[in-house]
Chains A and B, each alone.
Chain A
Amino acid sequence: MSGVLKNIHRPTLIACGFIVAILAAGTVYTLVTQGSATFIEPTYLLQQIKIAAFLGIVAAGMMVVVLLGQIDLSVPWTLAASAMIATAVGGPWAIPIGLGIGLAVGIANGLGVAFLRVPSMIFTLGVNAVLRGLMVMLTGGFAPQSSATKPMIWLATGQPLGIANSVVVWALLSVALVFMLTRTPIGRYIYATGNREAATYLSGINTRFVLVFGFVVCSLCASFAGLLIAGYTSKAFQAMGDVYLLPAIAAVVVGGTNILGGQGRYSGTVVGTILIVLLQSVLSVMQMPEAGRQIIYGLVIIAMLLVYGRNNTVRG
């Protein structure tokens, strides 16, 4: 039994504990005020997982970049640009073109970080500003009038399997990502590069390619999430991605991935995503004002990291 527990990622376990605590606190609240246990009803939980799928896909891509010891701040407008262009193009090419934009942004980010060696935090910030500018130029600063195509709406809201397609897509993507991270050479290279790029380079690995690959995965995930969100709300709009950047980083870090790179498991990111989404949802059901929500949100992240995210002190 203890062997099994040891195999489970410790941050994942603690994050699960926090999820249970949040649900318990929320349930006590609803039992007292409304006499019903909304938060542990399956319909509510399924609904939350459906919403979590969008953040989960963004966080999955972000995790790959964080594992490399980098960060991608261009996610908001990669997401929005893909969705806006895809809905504007329409027809059968909507989804491929949307993903194509993600691919292009990822390559641009990767080239800037891997070849020009500009710190990723600032380079992706610049790319984000350029994308925003492009979208303002193309749309005149208004939400585009065109709406999502049928396949996009189906991907986001259809339920042929009884559960929403977005959840199925998230699950498939997760399986692919876990396979890539743990069972393929490129996965090993990602962890190695995140740990110490110089050593990885000296081992004969093309770390520049690994960096570009990581940024491409992240941008593809972001643009895919953009297509799904556009399908879910049936249209694309300005700044639709802004609310996903910081929660995605928080989900990755709360899930135990080291922000300096090289350490972390995908299961942690999934649990972190669910934790963030549940926390936001429970606080809004409890009719907590925005001010209180922000404060609790911040305090929970700090509390969780104090439990397991601590670095070693520097001693020479």
Chain B
Amino acid sequence: MKDLRLRLSQSTGLLLALGLFVVLYTIYSSLHPKGWTVDVFVQNSNESFALIMVSMAQTVPVLTGGIDLSVGPMMTLVNCLASNLVSGSPFEIVTGILVCLAAGALAGFVNGCIVVYGRIQPIIVTLATGAVFLGISLFLRPTPGGKIDDNLSWVTTNAMAEMDTTYGWFPDGAPGWFAHGIGRLPVPILLLIAIAVFVWLPFKNTVTGRGCYAIGSAEGAAYMSGLNIARSKLAAYTVGGLFAAFGGLYLAIQTGSGNADIPQSGGYTLQSIAAVVIGGTSLFGGSGGAIGSLIGALVLRSISFCFRVFDTDGPMGFLANPLLQPIFEGVILLLAVSIGAARVFRVKNRLSLFT
């Protein structure tokens, strides 16, 4: 019981974000004419996937007390690479996907090397490498285009049932448990769960992953406790690169092409920081996690979803005005990040504010 209470108090930010998401998404779905249907889930999860991945990518370096301003550029880089590689025979597709993921991890590893061995502040390292990654993306794809395997695009951005119709999993007709159960789940959501369970959770529970939290809390203490600081930091940036690669790959699969869009990649980077903070991860490092950022990204996305469904003639009609949406999004973002300010009014000693 005491343990539960402790765990709850440690994840207040995450729970707040979860509550916010549930409220926003309930509003959206109940106002949407086709709310709570598989089609809407599929569409929403497609639109959220890349941002969620980029936000999770941002989380790992932030946990170490750093930051990664190159998550957007890494996503763009993998997006452009995928548009050159992920098509052709099944073997070529699988190799292409693996190369894309490896490229993202390598980009993150380079960031980590410069941070660890160059001893330069992460914010400025990733600012510079971000420019380099965007340059490479422009080399790979000077104009938007490229090709992604059509079947792959179709099945990854739809419900599981399409796996059967596209690849013919069940020649004798789908069994009931598939047609009415798994078949109705959107593939992007399954992919998300798979990435969270098979990439993030194992990483978090290794000594290296725990080291990331320790470094974020107190780097000196972590060093004195004999943790391998260099390895944890390198791993943090590499895992970040891997997550960004998932995002870029999905963006390529979703749009069926590659695009070295510089404003877009900057937007993703900035939104990822917002998602990390809304998801309850401290920008000073040491507490939080990628699951929180996943929810944070969902909150950001559901805010923009909500604006689509308000009835223009109803009492909330002014919210549907497209000219007013950017300012509402801005104000909500500002309010959401100011929630953390509550601690200011609870401190007993003002000195503890100056962290």
Q: Is B344 among interface residues, defined by CB-CB distance under 8 A?
A: yes
What chain A residues lie within 8 Å of B337 (beta carbons)? 118, 122-123, 126
7 example contacts (A-B, Cβ-Cβ < 8 A) are as follows A73-B270, A116-B344, A118-B340, A295-B135, A298-B130, A299-B128, A312-B119
What chain A residues lie within 8 Å of B131 (beta carbons)? 246, 294-295, 297-298, 301
Q: Are B329 and A129 in contact (CB under 8 A)?
A: yes
Interface residues of A (CB under 8 A from B): 71, 73, 112, 115-119, 121-123, 125-134, 136-137, 140-141, 196-198, 201-202, 207, 242, 246, 249-250, 253, 259-260, 289-299, 301-302, 305-306, 309-316
Q: Are A132 and B330 in contact (CB under 8 A)?
A: yes
Residues of B contacting A: mostly: helix
What chain A residues lie within 8 Å of B220 (beta carbons)? 314-316
Q: Are B284 and A119 in contact (CB under 8 A)?
A: yes
Bound-complex Cα distance A256 to B77 (A):
30
Q: Are A115 and B223 in contact (CB under 8 A)?
A: no
Known A121-B283, A305-B120, A310-B118: A141·B323 in contact at CB below 8 Å: yes
What chain B residues lie within 8 Å of A115 (beta carbons)? 344
Q: Are A133 and B330 in contact (CB under 8 A)?
A: yes
Bound-complex Cα distance A294 to B129 (A):
9
Known A141-B323, A305-B118: A246·B127 in contact at CB below 8 Å: yes
Q: Are B136 and A295 in contact (CB under 8 A)?
A: yes
**Contact pick for B127, options A196, A301, A316, CB 8 Å:** A301
Q: Are B128 and A301 in contact (CB under 8 A)?
A: yes
Residues of A contacting B: mostly: helix
Known A116-B341, A122-B337: A130·B229 in contact at CB below 8 Å: no
What chain A residues lie within 8 Å of B327 (beta carbons)? 130, 133-134, 136-137
What chain B residues lie within 8 Å of A130 (beta carbons)? 327, 330-331, 334
What chain A residues lie within 8 Å of B134 (beta carbons)? 294
Q: Is B30 among interface residues, defined by CB-CB distance under 8 A?
A: no
Q: Is B242 among interface residues, defined by CB-CB distance under 8 A?
A: no
A219 to chain B, nearest CB (A): 16
Interface size class of B (residues with CB under 8 A): 35 or more
Bound-complex Cα distance A121 to B272 (A):
12
Q: Is B273 among interface residues, defined by CB-CB distance under 8 A?
A: yes
Closest A-chain residue to B341, C-beta based?
A: A116
Q: Are B340 and A198 in contact (CB under 8 A)?
A: no
Pick the 9 closest A-B CB pairs, nearest first.
A133-B327, A294-B135, A129-B330, A295-B135, A291-B138, A298-B131, A126-B334, A133-B326, A130-B330
**Contact pick for B353, options A117, A133, A290, A292, CB 8 Å:** A117
Q: Are A314 and B229 in contact (CB under 8 A)?
A: yes
Q: Is B199 among interface residues, defined by CB-CB distance under 8 A?
A: no
A interface footprint on B343-355 (CB within 8 Å = 1, 0 otherwise): 1100000110110
Q: Are A301 and B124 in contact (CB under 8 A)?
A: yes
What chain A residues lie within 8 Å of B354 (beta carbons)? 196-198, 201, 207
What chain B residues lie within 8 Å of A137 (beta carbons)? 323-324, 326-327
Closest A-chain residue to B334, C-beta based?
A: A126
Q: Are B334 and A129 in contact (CB under 8 A)?
A: yes
**Contact pick for A294, options B67, B138, B329, CB 8 Å:** B138
Closest A-chain residue to B138, C-beta based?
A: A291
What chain B residues lie within 8 Å of A292 (beta carbons)? 135, 139
**Contact pick for A259, options B119, B124, B331, CB 8 Å:** B124
Q: Is B239 among interface residues, defined by CB-CB distance under 8 A?
A: no
Max count, chain A CB within 10 A of own CB: residue among B120, B323, B329, B331: B120
Bound-complex Cα distance A123 to B331 (A):
11
**Contact pick for A306, options B118, B121, B229, B263, CB 8 Å:** B118
What chain A residues lie within 8 Å of B127 (beta carbons)? 246, 249-250, 301
Bound-complex Cα distance A17 to B190 (A):
54
Q: Are B273 and A133 in contact (CB under 8 A)?
A: no
Bound-complex Cα distance A160 to B330 (A):
43
**Contact pick for A305, options B124, B142, B274, B323, CB 8 Å:** B124
B292 to chain A, nearest CB (A): 14
Q: Is B114 among interface residues, defined by CB-CB distance under 8 A?
A: yes
Max count, chain A CB within 10 A of own CB: residue among B118, B131, B220: B131
Bound-complex Cα distance A134 to B324 (A):
8
B331 to chain A, nearest CB (A): 6
Known A122-B283, A201-B351: A259·B121 in contact at CB below 8 Å: yes
